[in-house]
Amino acid sequence: MQSVAREFDALGLAAPQIGIHQRIILLTLQNGREKVFVNPQIVGKSTKVVPSIEGCLSVPALVASVPRHESIRLKAFDYSNGEEILQDFQGDDSFCLQHEIDHLDGVLFLDRVEDKEAIGVSNFLRIRAGERKIVDELVQQSEKLPQTIALTSVISFFLALSISAATN
């Protein structure tokens, strides 16, 4: 998990994204430390919900504003020592944990977007409808991704094209 997250500069990664059917997430915290959480559960959350601009390795062509709780309380096992933790997280750490735990529950960030018309195309792939060069770049990127992520990358490209065509 660490090698995939580092290679693709991901802040977080859920084990199911790379074909590991376990409730494990990897997160690079705001302080720069990497943490691996096993069986993470959100056991408390703030009432304040704020927008979080998010992207995802599973659909790398798309970005959107997602409503997230400003802070959460996490219960999990710390992979580094096996100890159970109960810890509060705020801001980007909170958003990323919610995003990765959603993956464990079969939820994609796009499922939480309230205004579907506001889904944007990521500058990462610089997608423009009809440019063959972009398709070639996407295929090259997909070849480097783990197979479970690669399929959704190609699907997201065509979804992004259809969104782009619909808005033009």
Q: Is 25 exposed, middle or buried (0-12, 13-18, 19+ CB in 10 A)?
A: buried
Is 143 among the residues known to form the active site? no
Identify the CA nearest to 35 among candidates 89, 107, 102. 89
Least Cα distance to 56 among 92, 90, 9, 22 occurs for 9
Residues 88 and 75: their CA atoms lie apart, in Å, by 9
Half-sphere exposure of 84 (CA within 13 A, CB side): 3
Which tokens sit at 90?
């705020």
Closest CA to 58 of 133, 1, 117, 142: 142
Three-state DSSP class for residue 17: helix
Catalytic residue among 7, 34, 84, 100: 100
Catalytic residues: 100
